[in-house]
A and B are shown apart, each in its own frame.
Chain A
């Protein structure tokens, strides 16, 4: 086993909502999540909208409040407990952990040149001593993201979606981070460009020895880029495994349903998939027992009452389902 960069233990994120003076309700966006992200890995996080994947990503960047449990960050130089990090530590952590956003059209200021956009983190965090050093650093990172000097002088509106996403990546990389959360970073791009940006992320990761958390709702993209995948549903981890294991033999009915919902490229393979009915329940009104029982075709009474724990089988393939073993048996398939 290689080193763990981030270890979350019972991590929960809650947001207070509505209610009167005496009955404060809390919306649990992330609920008791434990996971290890290994150094140098490409960690995928999948789930529908509303599953809490973005909130988990932000909690690990200390950009969402951690209400219970915690996460430990350790990159060999520093050790931080994210749940009670000090102000000075947090300042340093911001350098080490960065975020790439989903929408490259909204993420870049239209009034700044590309050079200024990329240089801004350096200036704000005072990472360089003078302008020459800043420029050199910007140029170096821009070249890594295949942006040339001419590009640096222009404004974002002159760029296509793929180019803008490369600018966002350059901005995230400029402070030489160790950990990057990429939140749906290719979802807004055309397939032809998407492949290009994914290849770029992969290359940067191996060149610079980064650790990525890759948040996506597109399982086929995750399958191609990530080493390890975690599946979330209503704030819970329902399954986590090395990518190949997960895709070869998914165990949780939710993971299976996500797989079968991917539109097949074979026109003769229409409608054969097992489709999921209904939608993800509101997090303010969560089902009892297993959160997935309202949509699960295999739910039994036990599922409605008792919440399943994440079971570890020792090979790194964990699943939270009461019935996964019987469902994996050949006759159930």
Chain B
């Protein structure tokens, strides 16, 4: 496993009429080839914005602090993603070495252009393909992701495919440029469980085959447990816990991670009541002082949580948590 992407001190704010809004606050992580990272959090936690930063894809009103640094390691040396400016330079992170799968495949395909034409177009944009080669390769990719009758599907439009099929086509398209890093933003959320299981299996096979790294964004911890090697939990733009998937799920240290796990309905214990994380995620305009989670935390220990921003505490080499009281919280 070699280093693929390093994110250091990523802080991202949006300029709005109401002032600067912090969306991502001092986030660092790195990912290697063949590694799957689960990025978990509620809506509004900043997980999609973080992922988009990897492609330098955030809206024009996004402001990155000078300390923010994203380094993508490619065959031709490291690339400083945030310094890329022209569309030509950006090609490398937008479909070249980095691809993205979105949550709603219907909204991600152009409705009036056939699936095949869209696949060929992006291949020609990113690689040295003739139209004929691009077509052959696209059909092969469609076939590879388990779409039956690929030559026929190649000619069809997005609305003619079912939800699961569309998501597969999306995956085929994202992978056809053979990216090093795949960003999957809630790729299974809109799918039925049965189809979700198929897509998860497919993605696992593809990681093995292509040895790419995946950032898997989801709010479903079950999906994370089934796919990821390591997990990063985000809350209001902060990375509050990170570690290997077994560690984080079996031995969560942050009260928020524990809360997310407790809120999940469990099939093997129908009697246990569902415990929600109390309250709602605060508006980014009203970021709480101190620990960002203190307004909803059930284990708050007085003033320190309200006043001081918890630093990352290292539990062991790979497992980190940002909480003042983690060692007092029984697992």
Contact = CB atoms under 8 A, between A and B. Distances in A.
Interface of A: 48-49, 160-163, 190-196, 198-199, 217-221, 223-224, 243-244, 247, 257-268, 270-271, 273, 275-277, 279
The CB with the most chain B CB atoms within 10 A, among A199, A257, A262, is that of A262
Nearest to A260: B197
Contact of B193 (A191, A258, A270): A258
20 contacts: A191-B263, A192-B259, A192-B260, A192-B276, A192-B277, A199-B273, A217-B192, A219-B193, A221-B265, A247-B267, A247-B270, A261-B193, A261-B194, A263-B193, A263-B220, A265-B221, A265-B222, A265-B261, A267-B246, A279-B195
A267 B263 contact: no
Interface stretch (B4-12, B55-63, B161-169, B171-179): B161-169
A199 B276 contact: yes
B226 A263 contact: yes
B252 to A, nearest CB: 11
B225 interface: yes
A266 B227 CA distance: 11
Secondary structure at the A interface, as helix, strand, loop or mixed, is helix
Nearest to B191: A49
Interface in B270-305: 270, 273-278, 280-281
B263 A262 contact: no
A208 B197 CA distance: 39
A256 to B, nearest CB: 11
B201 interface: yes
Contacts, number: 124
A189 to B, nearest CB: 9
A217 B163 CA distance: 15
A198 B245 CA distance: 28
Contacts of A199: 273-274, 276
B280 A223 contact: no
Given A48-B192, A192-B276, A195-B263, A263 B197 contact: yes
A268 B250 CA distance: 11
B218 to A, nearest CB: 10
B94 to A, nearest CB: 29
Contact of A243 (B195, B266, B270): B270
B223 interface: yes
A267 B225 contact: yes
B260 A191 contact: yes
Given A220-B264, A265-B249, A270-B226, A49 B193 contact: no
Interface string B238-259: 0000000110010000000001
B162 A279 contact: yes
A217 B222 CA distance: 15
